[in-house]
Chain A
Amino acid sequence: MRRYSAAAIVREAARHHEGWERAWASPEPKRKYDAIIVGGGGHGLATAYYLGRNFGLTNVAVLEKGWLGGGNTGRNTTIIRSNYLQDPSAAIYEKARALYETMSQDLNYNVMFSPRGVMMLAQTEHEVRGYRRTAHANALQGVDTEFVGPERVKELCPIINIEGPRYPVLGALWQARAGTARHDAVAWGYARACSAMGMDIIQKCEVTGVRSSNGQVMGVDTTRGPIDCDKLGIVVAGHSGALAEMAGFRLPIESVALQALVSEPIKPVMDVVVMANTVHGYMSQSDKGEMVIGGGADGYNNYTQRGSFHHIEETVRALIETFPIISRLKMLRHWGGIVDMTGDRSPIISKTPLGNCFINCGWGTGGFKAIPGSGWAMAELMARGGSPLASAFTLERFREGRFIDESVAAGVAH
């Protein structure tokens, strides 16, 4: 793999950009791999990357039914933060956030990580108490957050109306090191790094069955023929239920649509991310100038990647109250992704009832921020059979009542 660098740009500029290599190879699948990862989203690709980087396991294939990042990874609003309440969440999300800081250098691929700061507005007394509690918890967890008052909110984001009639801004949980990144670049950067380690990144290859014998996984059936493997990692977000059925177990997961939208591009008006969980909306401004907007998830099972319009209406209505300046903006695009919601709104990184078959799912509305930490933990689990970062996120916790209840901390998509 030829490295990207300033010198490379100069060199290519001088020869009509004809020397850029393909970022990753697209080989035919082999008959057998040491490990197969199903799902070429951020979490699947990060898992493969850390299997190679941290454990030297490179006879690995990533099988993606569509194109890389075509699932939720390329559909999300890219908020990266780690101000969670529960210790296991704070540990894995903070690990991920820290890895994002050096990801562009580590992968030699610009993922445009922008630690511009994330502000979660408190608009009820209950939220004030809740976020103060989170700030205290974060202090104990070593996660750098603070609770700030309304004046500071206005200073950080002048376009906010802090005196809204129904939900005035009473303060905010502020994480200065949080921010955003370029979503596709995260998937592409990992894919390129995996390919450089000799792994096979195979697109347009749908897994249609899981083969097993004596309770151990043997391989998968795909639209490009059967492929054997010693270990299988299922990392398919909204489609986890379908894969689990192929592997013969059930999941505490329901798949629902979550939507987002962007406005026409405008001059820079805000340089932080603002989330308003009480009124169900959040917004940031992309580097292109578009206002990136998201809200709540639908309440019913759905695999169509199209959500209900009334959620868009509710979100936009709430954000216009919070940011009156956007009331005349035209919306350019609007889309949906199928998110995998667990009973306690926390993810699953776990062994499964099928031997040597592992699953990573349930990131629901908020897993983009977790991609590097999740891949790190999943790779460790697959390579070693256990991972400190993943140990709380087992499938068994639902039977045993050991929930990691984060819905209290962020009752909104993010």
Chain B
Amino acid sequence: MLLLTCPHCGIDADETELAPGGEAHLTRHGPGATDDDFESYLFLRDNPRGVHLERWRHANGCGKWFIAARCTVSLEVFGTYPAQTARPPQHVLDAIEAKRPGATRKLPVMEGAR
């Protein structure tokens, strides 16, 4: 069972307390955006075998959204941070680099928002 620490209330929540929200740091395009922009926001996903930055809501807890950095192959969690963050904080990037050298460079959010 997945255990994630909610960065808002500090509780170690197991996944029955949490609602998954899919890939994080997507750019939400506004009116006048192209079809390609909308497709990329609504549907296209990185779906990596490896480090994934993803949204979760502490649904049966404080109710707030946060982002988890997690490996989809080992289910290891590298850290969590509030959803209002535009870029993963340094301690999360360091935790990823310590276990997966070079992985942070490949994160879409590091190449600039999509």
Contact = CB atoms under 8 A, between A and B. Distances in A.
Contacts of B23: 254, 301
B15 A308 contact: yes
Interface residues of A, number: 23
Contact of B20 (A239, A300, A309, A398): A300
Contact of B1 (A253, A299, A309, A399): A309
Contacts of A343: 42-43
B73 interface: yes
A4 interface: no
B111 interface: no
Contacts of A253: 45, 47
Interface in B34-60: 35-36, 38-40, 42-49, 52, 54
A303 B74 CA distance: 8
A357 B38 CA distance: 25
A125 interface: no
Contacts of B75: 302, 304
A255 interface: yes
A250 B46 contact: yes
A301 B52 contact: yes
A400 B46 contact: no
Interface string A238-277: 0101100000001111110000000000000000000000
Interface in A321-351: 342-343
Interface string B1-44: 11000000000000110011011000000000001101110111
A250 B45 contact: yes
A304 B49 contact: no
Contacts of A299: 19-20
Interface residues of B, number: 27
User: Which of A254, A300, A304, A309 is most buried by chain B, counting CB atoms within 10 A of its CB?
Assistant: A300
B3 to A, nearest CB: 12
A242 B47 CA distance: 8
A107 to B, nearest CB: 33
Given A300-B20, A300-B54, A399-B36, A308 B45 contact: no
Contacts of B44: 250-252, 398
B100 to A, nearest CB: 14
Contacts of A239: 49
A31 interface: no
Interface in A293-326: 299-304, 308-310
B67 to A, nearest CB: 13
Contacts of B16: 310
B46 A399 contact: no
A414 B15 CA distance: 24
A303 B73 contact: yes
Nearest to B44: A250
Given A242-B49, A308-B2, A252 B20 contact: no
Given A301-B54, A301-B72, A254 B45 contact: yes
A241 B49 contact: yes
Given A300-B2, A302-B75, A308-B1, A251 B47 contact: yes
Contacts of A254: 22-23, 45, 47
A342 B54 CA distance: 17
Nearest to B74: A304
A306 to B, nearest CB: 8
Interface of A: 239, 241-242, 250-255, 299-304, 308-310, 342-343, 398-400
Interface of B: 1-2, 15-16, 19-20, 22-23, 35-36, 38-40, 42-49, 52, 54, 72-75
Interface pairs A-B: 9 shortest CB-CB: A252-B43, A241-B47, A299-B20, A399-B39, A300-B20, A343-B43, A398-B43, A250-B44, A301-B72
Given A304-B72, A398-B44, 16 more contacts: A251-B44, A252-B43, A254-B22, A255-B72, A299-B20, A300-B2, A301-B47, A301-B52, A301-B54, A302-B75, A304-B73, A304-B74, A310-B15, A343-B42, A399-B36, A400-B35
27 contacts: A239-B49, A241-B45, A241-B49, A251-B45, A251-B47, A252-B39, A252-B43, A252-B44, A252-B45, A254-B22, A254-B23, A254-B45, A299-B19, A300-B20, A301-B23, A301-B54, A301-B72, A302-B75, A303-B73, A304-B72, A304-B75, A310-B1, A343-B42, A398-B44, A399-B35, A399-B38, A399-B39
